[in-house]
Amino acid sequence: MSSSFGTVFKVTTFGESHGKGVGAVVDGCPPGLAISEKDIQPQLDRRRPGQSRLTTDRDETDQVTILSGVEDGRALGTPIALSVANRDQKPGDYASMLSIPRPSHADYTYQMKYGIRASSGGGRSSARETIGRVAAGAIAEKFLYEEYGIEIVAWVNAVGTITASEIDKNSITRKSVDETIVRCPSEVDAGKMVIAIKDAKEAQDSLGGIITCVCRNVPAGLGEPVFDKMEACLAQAMMSIPATKGFEIGSGFAGTQMLGSRHNDPFILKGEKLGTKTNFSGGVQGGITNGEPIVFRVAFKPPATIGIPQRTVDFEGKQTVLEAKGRHDPCVVPRAVAIVECMAALVIGDFALQQKYREP
């Protein structure tokens, strides 16, 4: 079982949804990096449940505590332990689901793998596990910004069948993303998305969506061919987020419908370095960054736990109808924006350190 991620900047997450708490241990943070809870909390606030009427009603403040590895606001280079308490658990909500595996959730597969599972809240399969990644990723983001000026911005590009109009990837900021509760920077489309999510919530149903992410000012040369290509590791990072169903970089699947003559990114001189005129490659060629922005998309399914009665069978195979109780997200993408950004920071941060330590 792997709860660890990364080679040099190595993160291990811990905790279950309804246990005492969740968090992460970060090993390999560059010593001397200025870091405090204040650098980490904003991303946890953007991920936290109960932040708006579009999310689950589970209300957690998700205040992070740094337990080790930092003294007088500076990283010591030793393991940084990050801890967040669970406070608003309601295990009773899961009583009816103890004997019935939720369709398309992880109850059945965890039971098959371990022969035992957390009795409520989904245990490690719950999105609460992602708190540790976000806390660790916020540290990686700080390092990447201070060392290279790297900016990572993700936003909601689609909810159900509503897709946002084209957004300027060079100028988009987290501030503009956060102007709407759905985290779509196009106001008109955001309004439609909000209505769609509210309707799904009222109907006790759920909706999927797409997040787009841009990583700017990433230097050329990051990524480790051949198995640890930048896009391969980004895909792994993104597909490890719960509820993900797809990953595309650059032109993605749409590129299959283009001719090579249109799809190639011609080189041009940008200042003193080579750049490309277009960016269908999404900033990566041969698994190595080329200095252009990394652009990728992540598809999220409609969350599995819904109040609408579902015909299914219990663990014994007996026909039953499941009406899930509890508080659940009608659509995960507004909260997943911070998770996508932080996972991208973990991948790029790890590659940046691998490259740094390689240099003479």
Ligand X SMILES: Cc1cc2nc3c(=O)[nH]c(=O)nc-3n(C[C@H](O)[C@H](O)[C@H](O)COP(=O)(O)O)c2cc1C
In whole angstroms, give the CA distance from residue 237 to residue 5: 8
The footprint of ligand X on residues 110-129 (CB under 6 A) is 122, 125-127
The footprint of ligand X on residues 191-250 (CB under 6 A) is 241-243
For the bound state, the minimum distance from the C-beta of residue 174 to ligand X, rounded and expressed in Å, comes to 17
| SS3 call for 171 | coil
For the bound state, the minimum distance from the C-beta of residue 144 to ligand X, rounded and expressed in Å, comes to 22
Decide whether 240 or 320 has the Cβ nearer to ligand X.
Answer: 240
- Strand runs labelled E in 173-224: 209-216
Q: Tell me which of 133, 305, 340, 342 binds ligand X, using CB under 6 A.
A: 305
Of the candidates 281, 298, 142, 293, the residue with the CA atom closest to the CA atom of residue 215 = 293
For the bound state, the minimum distance from the C-beta of residue 101 to ligand X, rounded and expressed in Å, comes to 11
Q: Tell me which of 197, 336, 337, 342 binds ligand X, using CB under 6 A.
A: 336
Per rule CB under 6 A, is residue 331 in the interface with ligand X?
Answer: no
Decide whether 301 or 325 has the Cβ nearer to ligand X.
Answer: 301
CB 35 within 8 A of CB 29: yes
Decide whether 299 or 352 has the Cβ nearer to ligand X.
Answer: 299
At 163, list the tokens.
């897709």
For the bound state, the minimum distance from the C-beta of residue 121 to ligand X, rounded and expressed in Å, comes to 10
State the DSSP H helix or E strand holding residue 358, giving kind and residue range, or none if neither. Answer: helix 333-358
- Strand runs labelled E in the chain: 4-5, 10-14, 21-27, 64-66, 70-71, 74-75, 80-85, 151-159, 162-163, 209-216, 244-249, 267-270, 273-276, 284-285, 288-289, 294-300, 310-313, 319-322
For the bound state, the minimum distance from the C-beta of residue 78 to ligand X, rounded and expressed in Å, comes to 30
Per rule CB under 6 A, is residue 303 in the interface with ligand X?
Answer: yes
In whole angstroms, give the CA distance from residue 39 to residue 41: 6
For the bound state, the minimum distance from the C-beta of residue 56 to ligand X, rounded and expressed in Å, comes to 5
Please provide residue 146's backbone torsions phi and psi, each rounded to the nearest 5 degrees.
-70, -40
Per rule CB under 6 A, is residue 105 in the interface with ligand X?
Answer: yes
CB 295 within 8 A of CB 249: yes
For the bound state, the minimum distance from the C-beta of residue 46 to ligand X, rounded and expressed in Å, comes to 11
Number of residues that bind ligand X (CB under 6 A): 20
Decide whether 105 or 117 has the Cβ nearer to ligand X.
Answer: 105
In whole angstroms, give the CA distance from residue 247 to residue 253: 10
For the bound state, the minimum distance from the C-beta of residue 332 to ligand X, rounded and expressed in Å, comes to 4
Decide whether 146 or 199 has the Cβ nearer to ligand X.
Answer: 199
The footprint of ligand X on residues 142-201 (CB under 6 A) is none
Of the candidates 98, 45, 115, the residue with the CA atom closest to the CA atom of residue 335 = 45
Per rule CB under 6 A, is residue 56 in the interface with ligand X?
Answer: yes
In whole angstroms, give the CA distance from residue 230 to residue 286: 9
Q: Tell me which of 167, 215, 335, 346 binds ligand X, using CB under 6 A.
A: 335
Which residues of the shown chain bind ligand X in the complex (CB under 6 A)? Answer: 56, 105-106, 122, 125-127, 241-243, 301, 303-305, 328-329, 332, 335-336, 339
